[in-house]
Amino acid sequence: MQLSRMHSKGKGASGSSKPHSQTPPEWSNSDKKEVEELILQLSEEGNSNASIGTILRDKHGVPNVRLVTGERISQTLERLGKSGKLPEDLMSLMRRALRLIDHLSQNSKDVHNRRQLELCESKIRRLSRYYRENKQIDSNWTYKRDQLRLMVE
Question: Can you tell me the distance from the alpha carbon of 111 to that of 15, in angstroms, rounded to the nearest whole number?
Answer: 31
Domain regions of the chain by residue span: 32-79, 88-152
In the chain, which ranges are continuous DSSP H helix?
32-44, 49-60, 65-69, 73-79, 88-106, 111-133, 148-152
According to the model, what pLDDT value does residue 3 have?
65
Q: Global pTM? A: 0.79
Residue 104 has a pLDDT of: 97
Residue pair 31/22 in contact (Cβ under 8 Å)? The answer is no
Report which of 113, 42, 30 is spatially closest to residue 53, judged by C-alpha positions.
Answer: 42
**What is the rounded CA–CA span in Å between residue 52 and residue 10?**
30
Q: What is the pLDDT of residue 2?
A: 57
Q: Is the dihedral of CA 80, 81, 84, 86 positive or negative?
A: positive
Spell out the per-residue pLDDT of the chain, length 153, in tens: 556 778 888 877 777 887 788 888 888 888 889 999 999 999 999 888 999 999 999 999 999 999 999 999 999 998 988 877 888 899 999 999 999 999 999 999 999 999 999 999 999 999 999 999 999 989 999 999 988 888 887
Instruction: Please compute, for residue 144, the number of CA atoms within 13 A of its CA located in the half-sphere on the CB side.
Output: 7
Phi and psi angles of residue 37, each rounded to the nearest 5 degrees, phi first: -65, -40
Would you identify the CATH topology of the domain 88-152? Helix Hairpins (1.10.287)
pLDDT of residue 26: 87
The C-alpha atoms of residue 70 and residue 76 are separated, in whole angstroms, by 9
Identify the pLDDT of residue 23. Answer: 85
14-43 confidence digits (pLDDT tens) = 778 877 888 888 888 888 899 999 999 999
